[in-house]
Amino acid sequence: MQASNLLLWQAGRDPLTEASASTGIFDQFDLEYSRDGLRAGLRAASYRPSRDEGFLPAHYDEITLKYAEWEDEGLRLRLGDGFATLGRGLLFRAFELGGVVRDAVFPPAQYTDSRSLAGVILEAGRGPVSVLLLGGEPVRYPDVPPGIVELPRREGQVGGGHAAFAIHPALDLGAGYLRSKRQVPGSPPEIAEHAAADLTLRAARLAPSLASRGFDLQAYAEYAGRSWDPLGDGLDTGGATPHAFYTATQISIGRWGASYETKDYDGFALGWNDPPNLVPEMSQHLLNRMSHFLLADGEHGRQISVMGALPGELALQIESARAVNEVNGLKRYRLDAVVLQGDPLAHVHWEIFAATGHDEVEGLTDHRTAGLAVGREIGKGLNLRLHAEYQQAERTTFGVVSTFENIYLGLGLDRAGSGTLALQVEFSNDPDEKDDPLTFDVVESEPRSWVGLVAVAPLNRRHEAALFAGSRRGGTACTSGTCYLVPDFTGAELRLVSRF
């Protein structure tokens, strides 16, 4: 028997009212039983705000996950809520972002980002053949918090699967199918069928002599279409045909590696799929906030990544991404970034980076970012870290061009096994963030600053606490390739994770 609990308590300014303070408590409890090949579990979640006066109530107490699973040699059956991906997610993906607590705007509630499938999932494999079958009710997109009767969290029904066959140790062929049904009240049901085909190539299996020299090449391609007949329709990527086409090539030689990925999506925002967005997920603070939201109804582009080791204990990372979106007019996205890091001196680690790009979907016609991070061991197991980042950006809104700057500073101490203490400071003169929307009679025009203190420490073997106090800037955040919006916050926040 295993159990875990996530508690998030916040006290601070309510971003939706004039009130000076409000509190909210989110709690999630997971319980799992396992014996031999059998597993069963459930998850209970609740949210309690200090005020709940909206049109739809924000508080809830819900069982948000329940399942029973049986696994034996080459076979896995899961009933209830589960997670699965067909191919690379072009047709279907049910997933969750572990530990991520989302803030909903309407109603203003907190919940974990878990987009499970309520139904059945069956996986089987024997020899060169593997099969995945699924059916049930997916989470609607965009998703809403649980417990709202007026806004059901699940919508429609899906059923389908994926089969793969290894015709050679170096070559796999696969095919996927998904049938969906959704119905708007007062309208007849809408039924759609989508199919996909994929290919995986492993060059090292064809030429073992190259692999022995440190060379490897892998390639993947997947095409999906609506009511698609692979023999009669071919790989049609015309604008009149709803489709998704994704390719990925990875190559490694010694201590160097590179990847090249492409995307071509048109009319393929199904609501329960999650095709690769091909946007570099950067760890640097200001760059992570510049991530791009994929619009699969009309977007194509590519991403190139290169990583490798240089002489002198240095490492180089290069990221380059391009995208063109045609959902609401022609809009372009670009990001080019270079990161150099290493340990040239004893007890000192440093990193420098530079990036440039734009995202016309967000109105950003240009941004340039540079930064430095230095870490030094100042005692036995004690490390001091400094981060400094600077960004210039340009935004065009209704033909009006505004130029602004963002600055991020971070200073932290950490000790292995004891925790982390960090000070985070951010400045911005972004015109879109100067004015406080709740002070209706005043238009603020001064640059804003956010100052916050973060402390993370294990309380014992079973409990870990994270405390934040101060102000935190909102914006885009990305985890495991999925991006979401984080609101501004001013106040105190306690996060407690327990495992039993």
Average pLDDT over residues 347-367: 93
State the Cα–Cα distance between residues 476 and 286, nearest whole angstrom: 10
**Which is nearest to 485 in space by CA: 493, 496, 495, 477?**
477
Q: What is the pLDDT of residue 232?
A: 67
Mean pLDDT comparison of 23-32, 204-213, 398-407, highest-scoring range: 23-32
Give buried/exposed letters for 179-202 (b at 16+ CB in 10 A, else e).
ebebeeeeeeeeeeebbbbbebbb
Mean pLDDT comparison of 106-110, 204-208, 281-285, 391-395, highest-scoring range: 391-395
Average pLDDT over residues 308-329: 92
- Between 445 and 100, whose confidence is greater? 100
State the Cα–Cα distance between residues 52 and 148, nearest whole angstrom: 13
Per-residue tokens: 275: 């095709």
Q: Over the stretch 270-293, which tens digit does the pLDDT of each residue have? A: 999 999 999 998 999 999 887 888
- Between 229 and 10, whose confidence is greater? 10
Instruction: List CB contacts of 183: < 8 A, sequence separation 6 or more.
Output: 156, 189, 190
**What share of the chain in percent tops pLDDT 70?**
96
- Between 442 and 6, whose confidence is greater? 6
Quick check: 325 pLDDT over 60?
yes
Dihedrals phi, psi of 210, to nearest 5 degrees:
-70, -40
Per-residue tokens: 355: 């990036």
pLDDT band at 38 (very low <50, low <70, confident <90, very high): very high
Q: What is the pLDDT of residue 438?
A: 61
Average pLDDT over residues 230-249: 82
Q: What is the pLDDT of residue 14?
A: 59
The least confident of 179-193, 294-308, 312-326 is 179-193
Residue 447 DSSP symbol: P
Residue 434 DSSP symbol: H
Average pLDDT over residues 116-133: 97
pLDDT band at 16 (very low <50, low <70, confident <90, very high): low
Q: What is the pLDDT of residue 475?
A: 84
Query: Is pTM beyond 0.85 here?
Result: yes
The burial class, CB within 10 Å (0-12 / 13-18 / 19+), for 380 is: exposed
Q: What is the pLDDT of residue 385?
A: 96
**Which is nearest to 89 in space by CA: 485, 478, 361, 481?**
481
Q: What is the pLDDT of residue 327?
A: 82
Quick check: 247 pLDDT over 90?
yes
Q: What is the pLDDT of residue 440?
A: 64
- Between 246 and 238, whose confidence is greater? 246
State the Cα–Cα distance between residues 369 and 282, nearest whole angstrom: 12
Q: What is the pLDDT of residue 70?
A: 97
Instruction: List CB contacts of 94: < 8 A, sequence separation 6 or more.
Output: 82, 83, 84, 85, 115, 116, 117, 138, 139, 272
**Which is nearest to 86 in space by CA: 245, 230, 275?**
275
pLDDT band at 60 (very low <50, low <70, confident <90, very high): very high
Average pLDDT over residues 303-330: 93
Quick check: 15 pLDDT over 60?
no
- Between 136 and 377, whose confidence is greater? 136
Long-range contacts of 200-204 (CB under 8 A, 24+ apart): 200/171, 200/172, 200/174, 201/170, 201/171, 202/169, 202/170, 202/171, 203/170, 204/170
Quick check: 19 pLDDT over 60?
no
**3 state DSSP class of 228:** coil
- Between 363 and 84, whose confidence is greater? 84
Q: Over the stretch 407-463, which tens digit does the pLDDT of each residue have? A: 999 999 999 888 999 999 999 999 888 777 666 677 777 899 999 999 999 999 999
Average per-residue pLDDT in the chain?
91
Q: What is the pLDDT of residue 363?
A: 87
State the Cα–Cα distance between residues 102 and 283, nearest whole angstrom: 20
Q: What is the pLDDT of residue 18?
A: 55
Average pLDDT over residues 150-157: 87
- Between 242 and 16, whose confidence is greater? 242
